[in-house]
Amino acid sequence: MSGGVVLAEVWWEQLLHGILSWEFLQFVVAFASIFGFVMTSAVILILAERKVMAWMQDRYGPLHTGPWGLLQTVADVGKLLLKEDIHAGKIDKAVFILAPSVFLAPVIASFAVLPFSPYISLPGAPLATGIVYLIAMSSLDVVGVIMAGWGSNNKYALIGGLRSAAQMISYELPLVLSLVSVIMLTSILRDSGIGTIAIKDIMNFQMAQNWPGKGNPVWDFIFEGFTPWAWFILVQPLLVVIYYTCGLAETNRSPFDLPEAESELVAGYLTEYSGMRWALFFLGEYGNMTIVSAITAMLFLGGWSGPGVAFLTAPGMAIGWQVLGNLLALFYFILKIYLLCGVFIWVRTTLPRLRADQLMQFAWLILIPTTLVNIVLTGALYLVLNALGASNLVFLIVLGVVNWLMLFGFFWVVSRATTASTRRAMAPAIRARQRLAALTAAPSAPRLPEPERTGVTGAGATSGR
Amino acid sequence: MATNQGVNRPPLEGEAPGELRSEEMILNMGPQHPSTHGVLRLVLTLEGETVVDCTPVIGYLHRGIEKILENRTVMAGIRYMDNADYLSPMLNETAYVGAVEQLMGIEPPRRAQYIRLITNELQRIASHLVAIGTYLLDLGAFTPILWTFRDREGILSLFEALGGSRFNVNYMRVGGVLHDFPKGWLQQCEAWCNQFEKNLQELETLITGNEIFEARTQGVGYVDPQQAIAYGLTGPMLRASGVNWDLRVNRPYMAYREIKVNPQVRQEGDCYARYRVRMQEMAESLRLVRVAMDQLPGGPISTRTPIALRPPRGETYFAIESSKGELGIYFISDGSEYPWRAKIRGPSFVNLQILPELLRGHKMSDVVAILGSLDIVLGEVDR
């Protein structure tokens, strides 16, 4: 009896110590700051999206709440917080209530491994498996979407949830594969031959050690740690495009916003949600956008590097300059994130949305083969050039040229493929009509018997198109 | 499907115990749905994402316009025609007054005919702008609808200057039109035409040639010419299937007897062709407006017709080429001030009939793509 009591005391004491410990406080602060960042970022992004879309569409956008409508989203958040949380009848209550949290939690967790500047980072940032962790978190999102779709007891929501599951799982693959080549690059560039998947390390690979006018303080100030010619976007432009496209699909943004296609599915898995639960989904979506943009900026655009950052934060500088350098780094990083989010918005105003089967086709028949070919090509090029005795610089230049050519080839293939798939899609409908017309002279032909009908009109051929 | 039956549900018909089998799902789309263009209700039978069957249910916007017309004098009834196809009131009014004029044997003055042509073609542009904007919205593109509505606002402003009202203009009269052009109207219209020419080009650049748009519309919703004729399709639906039939050319009425229209025909018969026909018709209408403004004759704008109009006993059918197809009025008069019967042959109603036939075998996402390409207005379907 006494043993059990002692055990319980130990357990409680340990928990108490854990909660009151320095590490726990760290995590609390980390969570609060991430949540604050996601929230603020979402508010700013929603406003920016509405304003930018309005400018592109020849209208004003929000105008009356605050100066130039700047407080519109703040007011919206207030409204959403105060709104009634409506539960429709016969929903699966536990699933329905949990879904927004399940959707939002991985988004917030993703930020844990993102460094924001040389010194500003969260406790998880040194994690050596940064990219793997990020991908794992972004894959978890789909669970929340399916839960929302299932728990809503609504056919539109269910279709939206299932579409989303298929879409997110399909686009996960090219997304991962497009990052593999970057990791290969790091393993080639490092002398030890062992690459890295830590985000900060990959970023550091994009800072060249030499720049024009080295030694001159002005040039040093600008170019130390800011060498755009060494960014991976120049070496692997195709992967940036593919990664970004997959990011669009991952975050359910237009033109891949089928799960919440409002013209077909009303609001997809969001249909039955209202108030703050609905807002949580939105928060998650915009948080996802930020994550995708942040990873693109880190892996391909040099992260926080910009004029002055490395110069000011170099060891030996006064603490005031160090702080300024960090703030500058934060500014550059967030600027890059928002510029990339701007591309999201730009795409949204321009493009119509794809059909579900075309979406799958695009992922499996175009994106995955392209990324696989790129991996093989990168490896083969390195082996060949290495055997010829060429330096890493030559390899990077050759790889860059090949990749830029592949980028234009990719666009050509995509345009050809859409035309071809369109023709294929056109064929069954036309053939079906012709056969129906031949079968019966009457215009309103009766429905054919079951097996033939599926054959003729292509009904049920969900994977055949 | 989404009910929580779990695994303990009773076995379905013809299903062995323990075997899993998929069912067809019945999805009710509308009457309150973002993209059924009003209050159309579609009962879809889905097999996965494939549409197996579709039953359109109409009547949610029935206001009894034909009955209302019987209880209004001829002149008072013109205003109610505005509400039938609420996206092209000018065309509706023209059809109605045209029927009365045909029954009474009135020939409106040339200037009135030209004014009617100008307003009709502007209205056709306005209607097509809405059709294309909402169609692209259905397909998930946000921008075109705002651009098209911006240009449509210009047309509505022109109508406001003309008839005093932006939407339900009530501008046509038996024997002519209500007012002549106010001062400066033609310059305003010319300026709008110049602006619209640029905007139309911009719209083309945005939409036409977009690969996603082409992939979504090409080969979707194919109607072959025989089928189109058999279903009685008219307007852009018919011309997109390669049938060259335009009442402005084949049965010219009013000023169309003097101004030659180039009918816009395409052969593909799919949603893309219907979109292209509408775009081309807008350019053609713009040309017609300019030609008519150049050749605008002087003279009176109306014959002298009494307000208390008594059409002679008899019946007539008069049809014009509306923005959506053949808009016909079957008008029976018993010699009194009130029409004994005024039947509207709404092109939207007729064009809608082919929908279940078109949807069968397509994906669920194609439902909105096909429905949007029909360009129906529920106000005209239900009347």
Extents of the domains making up chain B: 65-382
Residue A279 has pLDDT above 80, yes or no: yes
Q: Is B182 exposed, middle or buried (0-12, 13-18, 19+ CB in 10 A)?
A: exposed
- Selected residues 123-152 of chain B with any CB under 8 Å from a CB in chain A: 136-143, 146-147, 150
How far is residue B301 CA from its own chain's centroid?
27
Mutate to test the interface with B, among A55, A56, A91, A264 (most CBs of B within 10 A): A264
pLDDT (0 to 100) of residue A257: 76
The third-level CATH classification (topology) of the domain covering B65-382 is Cytochrome-c3 Hydrogenase; chain B (1.10.645)
- Average pLDDT for chain B: 85
The residue written with tokens 């879904």 in the block is A99
pLDDT tens digits, A98-107:
888 888 888 8
Mean pLDDT of B244-264: 87
pTM: 0.79
CA distance B86 to B211: 33
pLDDT (0 to 100) of residue B1: 43
| Chain B residues in contact with A419 (beta carbon < 8 A) | 211, 214
pLDDT (0 to 100) of residue A420: 62
pLDDT (0 to 100) of residue A446: 45
Task: Kindly report the number of other CB atoms within 10 A of residue A160's CB atom.
Answer: 29
DSSP string, B82-131: TTTSTT-HHHHHHHHHHHHHHHHT----HHHHHHHHHHHHHHHHHHHHHH
pLDDT (0 to 100) of residue A456: 37
- Looking at CA atoms only, how far is residue A208 from chain B in angstroms? 40
Lowest-confidence segment of A421-435, B21-35, B251-265 by average pLDDT: A421-435
Cα–Cα distances in angstroms (integers) from residue A180 to residues A6, A132, A241, A411, B79, in the given order = 51, 11, 14, 21, 68
Residue B3 has pLDDT above 50, yes or no: no
**Cβ(A61)–Cβ(B142) below 8 Å:** no
Lowest-confidence segment of A294-308, B54-68, B340-354 by average pLDDT: A294-308
Which one has a higher pLDDT value, A389 or A293?
A: A293
CA distance B164 to B182: 11
- Interchain pair A422, B215: CB under 8 A: yes
How far is residue A44 CA from its own chain's centroid?
18
Most confident of A83-92, A250-259, A270-279, B55-64: B55-64
pLDDT (0 to 100) of residue B332: 92
CA distance A246 to A173: 9
Residue A217: its H or E element: helix A217-223
Residue A401 has pLDDT above 50, yes or no: yes
Contacts of A322 (CB under 8 A, 6+ apart): A119, A312, A313
- Selected residues 251-280 of chain A with any CB under 8 Å from a CB in chain B: 254-255, 257-258, 261-264, 266
Structure tokens at A93: 């209550």
Partners of B57 in the beta sheet?
B41
- Interchain pair A53, B142: CB under 8 A: yes
Q: Indicate the residue of A157, A418, A462 with minimum beta-carbon distance to B50.
A: A462
B27 touches chain A (CB under 8 A): yes
Residue B362: its H or E element: none
- The amino acid that residue A101 corresponds to is S
CA distance A181 to A371: 8
CA distance B368 to A273: 24
| Chain B residues in contact with A451 (beta carbon < 8 A) | none
Phi-psi region of A304 (alpha: psi -120 to 50; beta: other; left: phi over 0): alpha
pLDDT (0 to 100) of residue A462: 37
Per-residue pLDDT band at A87 (split at 50, 70, 90): confident
| Chain B residues in contact with A164 (beta carbon < 8 A) | none
Which one has a higher pLDDT value, B317 or A58?
A: B317
CA distance A38 to A286: 8
Task: Kindly report the number of other CB atoms within 10 A of residue A439's CB atom.
Answer: 13
| Chain A residues in contact with B273 (beta carbon < 8 A) | none
CA distance A100 to A107: 11
A428 touches chain B (CB under 8 A): yes
- Each domain of chain A, given as residue ranges in start order, spans 7-82, 92-428
pLDDT tens digits, A155-213:
788 888 888 888 888 888 888 888 888 888 887 777 776 777 777 777 777 777 777 77
pLDDT (0 to 100) of residue A436: 60
Residue A216 has pLDDT above 70, yes or no: yes
CA distance A162 to A180: 28
Q: Indicate the residue of A59, A261, A443 with minimum beta-carbon distance to B231.
A: A443
Task: Kindly report the number of other CB atoms within 10 A of residue A244's CB atom.
Answer: 20
CA distance B333 to A110: 75
Per-residue pLDDT band at A448 (split at 50, 70, 90): very low
pLDDT (0 to 100) of residue A458: 37
H-type helices in chain B, by residue range? 65-70, 74-81, 89-104, 110-138, 143-163, 185-207, 211-217, 225-230, 236-239, 247-250, 271-294, 347-352, 355-359, 364-374, 378-382
Could you tell me which chain B residue has the CA closest to the CA of A148?
B2
Partners of B46 in the beta sheet?
B25, B51
CA distance B90 to B96: 10
Nearest C-alpha neighbor of A108 from the set A280, A243, A237: A280
Nearest C-alpha neighbor of A257 from the set A368, A160, A153: A160
Residue B33 has pLDDT above 90, yes or no: no
- Interchain pair B357, A444: CB under 8 A: yes
CA distance A192 to A253: 40
Q: Is B51 exposed, middle or buried (0-12, 13-18, 19+ CB in 10 A)?
A: buried
Nearest C-alpha neighbor of B167 from the set B96, B86, B95, B97: B86
Task: Kindly report the number of other CB atoms within 10 A of residue A270's CB atom.
Answer: 25
Nearest C-alpha neighbor of B90 from the set B181, B12, B198, B165: B165
Which one has a higher pLDDT value, A430 or A232?
A: A232
pLDDT tens digits, A424-447:
555 555 565 566 666 554 444 444
CA distance A266 to A252: 15
Task: Kindly report the number of other CB atoms within 10 A of residue A465's CB atom.
Answer: 17
Residue B37 has pLDDT above 90, yes or no: no
How far is residue A104 CA from its own chain's centroid?
14
